[in-house]
Structure formats: C-alpha cells, structure tokens
C-alpha cells in the first residue's frame, strides 16, 4: 500500500454571496460556492453564473490566494444537460479551480474540458471500492460520506494513491 506524507489540510468555507466571500479572505484556503439552479445549497443566496470570472479573479488575487470550487451537486435531468455543459465550459474559461459533482454526466463534461473535479459528499462514498472507482476515473478529491468513522476514513485513504480526501468536521 502507498505511504502518505503528512500535508497541511486545506480548509474550505462556503461562500453564498460577495459579503460572505470577502469575510472568508485570510481565514480559509479555498471556497466552495454555487450558482443559481445548479447546487444543493438552494436556500443560500448563490452567485450568478455571469460572476464566475470575477469570483476566480477575486480568489486568486488574495494573499495568500484562495482556490475557487464550483458546486454542481444537484440531480441533473436530460433537459438540463446542454446548459450544464455550457456552465462547465464557462467555469473552465473563468479560471475556476475545480467542479464539485456527483453526477457522472457532469464529471464527463469536466473531464472533456480538462477541469479538475471533486466528488461531492452527495455521492456517499463510504468504502474503498467506490473511492478507487472515482480515483480511477481521475477525481482529484473525494468528499467522503459524512457518516464515516475516523477508522473508516483512514482505511479509504490508505488505499488511494493519487486522490485526496475531504471530510466535513
């Protein structure tokens, strides 16, 4: 099994609007956010998709820079696929660092654009085989199921060679 070196964990914080994004500056390493209609935080204010470039620029110009992760972790229906594919392209062009997703169509779109993707906690990854599947298809990070014990998290991480893990605390 692979030997892992200890690295400083990345602290993420949710941003639902410009006020919350500005308040995160200097307190986190990265943000995750959604745009209207395309993330599980439906009750949050959410950004407009036209703000993607401005969000990425704001984050990347902080000292130290923030990473910007776009959450697209909703149920996707056939009627939404074409628009969602455009959103992924817009995110890539805007300089968004990664997409958070659980739907395989969204992951496919991200891969086609060579945009890093993180597997959402909505995928309920709770075992080694599921984690290895997502590692094998190129996930940069897996946000593990919230129900896992520390022992289960360690077991999954022990079997991954390239993919990072993320946990809610």
How do residues 143-164 score in pLDDT, each as one tens digit? 999 999 999 999 999 999 999 9
Same domain, 28 and 78: yes
Q: What's the rounded Cα separation, in Å, for the pair 139 and 125?
A: 12
Domain housing 25: 12-119
Q: Is residue 7 part of a domain?
A: no
Q: Given the structure tokens 């990345």, which residue do they identify?
A: 10
| Same domain as 146, residue 103 | no
pLDDT value of position 7:
73
Q: Tokens 């939404």, residue?
A: 80
Residue 166 burial (C-beta neighbours within 10 Å; 0-12, 13-18, 19+): middle
The pTM is what?
0.92
128, 159 Cβ separation under 8 angstroms: yes
pLDDT tens readout for residues 5-58: 667 789 999 999 999 999 998 899 999 999 988 876 666 678 999 999 999 999
Q: Domain count for the chain, please give it.
A: 2
For residue range 45-98, list pLDDT tens digits in order. Answer: 789 999 999 999 999 999 999 999 999 988 899 999 999 999 999 999 999 999
* 100 and 157 part of one domain: no
State the CATH number of the domain containing residue 48: 3.20.20.70
Q: In what order do the strands lie in the sheet with 164-166?
A: 12-14, 30-33, 67-71, 98-101, 117-119, 141-143, 164-166
pLDDT(4) > 60: no
């Amino acid at each position: 099994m692979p030997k892992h070196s200890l690295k400083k964990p990345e602290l993420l914080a949710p941003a639902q609007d410009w006020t919350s994004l500005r308040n995160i500056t200097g307190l986190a390493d990265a943000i995750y956010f959604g745009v209207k209609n395309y993330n599980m935080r439906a009750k949050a204010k959410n950004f407009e998709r036209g703000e993607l470039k401005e969000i990425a620029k704001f984050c990347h110009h902080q000292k130290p820079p923030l990473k910007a992760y776009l959450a697209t972790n909703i149920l996707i229906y056939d009627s939404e696929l074409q628009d969602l594919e455009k959103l992924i392209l817009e995110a890539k062009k805007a300089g968004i660092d990664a997409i958070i997703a659980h739907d395989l169509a969204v992951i496919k779109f991200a891969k086609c654009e060579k945009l890093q993707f993180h597997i959402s906690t909505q995928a309920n990854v709770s075992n080694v085989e599921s984690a290895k599947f997502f590692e094998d298809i190129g996930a940069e990070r897996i946000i593990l199921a919230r129900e896992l014990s520390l022992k289960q998290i360690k077991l999954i991480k022990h079997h991954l060679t390239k993919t990072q893990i993320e946990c809610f605390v």
